[in-house]
Homo-oligomer: A and B are copies of this chain.
Amino acid sequence: MSVTTVSLVMNDVESRISEETRRRVREAARAVGYAPSSVARGLRTQQTRTVGLISDQIATTPFAGDMLAGAQDAARENGHLVFLIDTGGDSTIEADAIRALTAQQVDALIYACMWHQVVPAPSGLPAGAVFLDCRPEGGGFRSVVPDDRAGGVAAVRELVAAGHRRIAYIDTDDNPIASTLRHEGYLEVLSEAGIPADPALHVHGETTARGGRAAYERLLDLPEEQRPTAVFCFNDRMAVGVYIAAHRRGLDIPRDLSIVGFDDQALIAAEQDPPLTTIALPHYDMGRWAMEVALGVRAEGDEDATHLMECPVIRRDSVGPPPAQVAKPNRRRASLTERLPEAVADQ
């Protein structure tokens, strides 16, 4: 039983080695509790079967744990371990992380952000790194981000399909890339449905419940006939603010107001009253995609392409037909059977 023999059987190399010897080696290994050292193997083969995942904060926010899950699962399935480094956005830590990971001779590197943005590529980042939920300024790396535009389209289509024509977009300035894309989707659906875009229905706020609430309250100040019967919110947190404002005004969701959010944020969207219809961010799939291309198990033709990941709509109970149109200031509440034909006719 030479080292060679042991190495061969531990690595399940076919060729030579008799069945008898294999058995003996395995048994001996079990008896001694022997397991090959990945470190020595890494030194010899120059492949460590490890991947570095550098992120600004994804590991430490309630937001995108799914990205990690996707990346991890893909790594595990391919026999890799992942080093996780959260930099908290500190570029010194980031540079250290890249150095440390390079010294560890990781086989691949993923650079992740908490939300869809364009970032300057950190210097020292090895070619072949992949960007997750962000794109490198000026390109040069592969990246995967959510298809926010299509998500916006899907969201507003839900509303149009339910019969709404006065649909507001509660936007934000806090996230330029995503908000612009979602807005484009919103405008596209309006235009394909022949609904003129009313600038008064495009309001902004910060991405918090408070921000969403303030924005919706501005909408409520509009004259009745201009007031939206539905709102598409930049995200679920803002949608929560809309719920609060609506409830305070005695509005029922979805009878008086329909809402679609974005993000499908855990513990938020599903727990509203009524549960919020929203667009999910495909964090798990993005994480998986990034890991698979980083590991080279998913062939991506272009060395410098951005992959757009679909955002599925999650239908819950915050969307219904618009309330019956009543010209009088004291609007009466129409029953469902009264409203339905109208809503359908509206489409």
Q: Hey, which bits of chain A sit against chain B, CB under 8 A? A: 35-40, 42-43, 48, 50, 59-63, 65-66, 68-69, 72, 76, 81-86, 88, 93, 96, 99-105, 208-210, 237, 240, 244, 247, 265-268, 271, 273
Which one of A43, A60, A63, A103 has the greatest number of beta carbons of chain B within 10 Å? A60
CA distance A37 to B103 in the complex (A): 5
A84 to chain B: which residues have CB within 8 Å? 59, 68, 72, 82-84
Q: Is B59 in contact with A104, judged by CB distance below 8 angstroms? A: no
Whether A267 and B237, one on each chain, are in contact in the complex, defined by CB atoms closer than 8 angstroms, is yes
Contact A76 B61 (CB under 8 A): no
Note all chain B residues with C-beta closer than 8 A to A59.
Answer: 59, 65, 68-69, 72, 84
Q: How far is the CA of A86 from the CA of B82 in the complex (A)?
A: 10
Number of copies of this protein chain within its complex: 2
Query: Distance (Å) between the CB of A149 and the closest chain B CB?
Result: 25
B209 engages A62 (CB within 8 Å): no
A105 CB contacts on chain B under 8 angstroms: 37-39
Bound Cα distance from A329 to B165, whole angstroms = 47
Q: How far is the CA of A83 from the CA of B83 in the complex (A)?
A: 4
- Residues on the B chain within 8 Å of A62, using CB: 62-63, 65, 265-267
- Name 8 A/B residue pairs within 8 A (Cβ), A-sorted: A40-B43, A61-B266, A62-B266, A69-B88, A76-B96, A81-B100, A240-B271, A267-B268
Closest B residue by C-beta to A284: B60
CA A105 to CA B41, docked complex, whole Å: 12
Contact of A103 among B35, B61, B266 (CB under 8 A): B35
Does B104 contact A38, Cβ atoms closer than 8 Å?
yes
Contacts of A104 in B (CB 8 A): 38-39, 50, 81
- Chain B, residue nearest A208 (CB): B271
- A266: nearest residue on chain B (CB-CB)? B62
Please measure, in the bound complex, the distance between the C-alpha atom of A62 and the C-alpha atom of B269, giving whole angstroms.
13
A280 CB to nearest B CB, Å: 14
